[in-house]
Amino acid sequence: MLDHPKLAGWQPPSNYQPVPSTLEGITVFAPRPADLVVEEPTTYKCPNCGAATKYDITAGGVACEHCGYTTLAQAQKVGVQAQRSEFTLETLGQAEKGWGLDRRVLHCDSCGAELAIAEGALTATCPFCASNRVNLRQAPSENLRPRFVIPFKITPEIVRQRAREWLGKGWFHPSGLADSSAIDRFSGVYLSFWTFDANIGSDWNAEVGYEREERYYDASDKEWRTRTVIDWRWERGHVVTRVNNLLVAGTARLSHLILEKVYPFNLNDLVTYSPDFLAGWQALTYDITLPKAWEAGKAIMREKAKSACYADIPTNHVRNFSMSADFSDEAWRYVLLPVYVAAYLFEGKTYQVMVNGQTGTVAGQKPVAWWKVWLAMGLLLAPGLLLGLVGLILTAAGVGIVLLGVAFILLIIGVILSIMIYRQAVASEAA
């Protein structure tokens, strides 16, 4: 504050704090940043009985399984209106560093134990006193902490039930797969995701072909006929594509193939981040950094823009297509989304299953009883082959031509169906 009698008694607005001034004789005050307080690791213990507490899906808050004490999670529903961030050079520079890969040691306030927590884990449960802890302190910067989360909505009981139903579906899987006890071991994990938004202004340029009926004289047949010709001409156009809330997984630890099958998440359920949602649940930081995820997001977006350009062309005849895509208003969010993950052993091989913790959609790997697949393919190919054999014999006698034709059609149908079944079986085991 400046020492001058005419300025005596002046106070800055209540939420303002002094900031450095580059000129003597001028003071500068700025609003105090809202999230200046560094979040300390939080330990969840019941204030009533001292037992460990965790986020309870049905209660919608942190609950004690021992005495029933419950507190509602302090969060605000923001949905798709959740604040977005820009791709500032500063943020991108910080994002390049990631969260670090070292194993970290977390001190348990409850029993004093030193806990070694796994790479990328944001939460831990003390093996000595069972207290749950949430820690975000090692985020590379304030705006790279998760700020929004969709809390778990599907309970583990429902997850188990849906997983069994899912395992029981399909005829080419081993019998009794649904009864496997291994599938019971689901872990609820908050996974890191990036959401991206952008406007893409695309200018396309291509040769577009328009079909035209043309009459011509066929000299060999000596009659007029009609044929279709294509007139090519250069055309150009401009298309604006808006992509909102494109989801890109922030973790490479899980199979993206399976993860994308449990999409979509309803981002209207996004709430502001509170460590309460993570209490007693696992949570993983991102290991795919913002720049890398944005590259992946951009690749998806530009293909969308390309499709929009093709859709702008009134015919299917296109050649020498080129386009430019100008990105603007790009924005991102870092969110935590709920997924149940399980891995089970079947005949010595590990299979992964995931369940969307918000919608209950199940996806994953299922073992295949290959003998069933081969048998089905054999049955599909057999009619064509057998009929073809009979047709060949009869052709020798001079009467099997029609039969050979029918056999060929059946064989083609059998081959197509066999390929479909084979691909389905391979995809079922793929991760």
Residue numbers of the site for other proteins (CB under 8 A)?
1-2, 4, 6-7, 10, 12-13, 16, 19-23, 25-31, 86-90, 92, 298-299, 302, 306, 320-328, 330
Nearer Cβ to other proteins (147/306): 306
Tokens of 373: 């697949």
State the sign of the Cα–Cα–Cα–Cα dihedral 380, 385, 388, 389. Answer: negative
Question: What one-letter code names the amino acid at 363?
Answer: A
State the sign of the Cα–Cα–Cα–Cα dihedral 182, 185, 187, 188. Answer: positive
- 168, 165, 164: which is closest to 184 by C-alpha? 164
Nearer Cβ to other proteins (6/233): 6
CA distance 245 to 94: 22
Nearer Cβ to other proteins (187/320): 320
Shortest distance in whole angstroms from residue 329 CB to other proteins: 9
Nearer Cβ to other proteins (65/86): 86
Residues in the chain, total: 431
CA distance 353 to 364: 4
Q: What is the number of other CB atoms lying within 10 angstroms of the CB of residue 283?
A: 25
**CB-CB contact of 277 with 75 (8 Å):** yes
Pairing state between β 282-283 and 187-218: parallel
Nearer Cβ to other proteins (9/348): 9
Shortest distance in whole angstroms from residue 189 CB to other proteins: 31
Shortest distance in whole angstroms from residue 321 CB to other proteins: 8
Tokens of 337: 């989304």
Shortest distance in whole angstroms from residue 57 CB to other proteins: 39
Shortest distance in whole angstroms from residue 43 CB to other proteins: 36
Nearer Cβ to other proteins (10/216): 10
CA distance 133 to 110: 10
Shortest distance in whole angstroms from residue 205 CB to other proteins: 9
Nearer Cβ to other proteins (22/226): 22
Shortest distance in whole angstroms from residue 240 CB to other proteins: 15
275 strand-pairing partners: none
Shortest distance in whole angstroms from residue 285 CB to other proteins: 23
Tokens of 231: 């007139």
Nearer Cβ to other proteins (308/339): 308
Cα 203–chain centre separation: 29
State the sign of the Cα–Cα–Cα–Cα dihedral 299, 304, 309, 313. Answer: positive
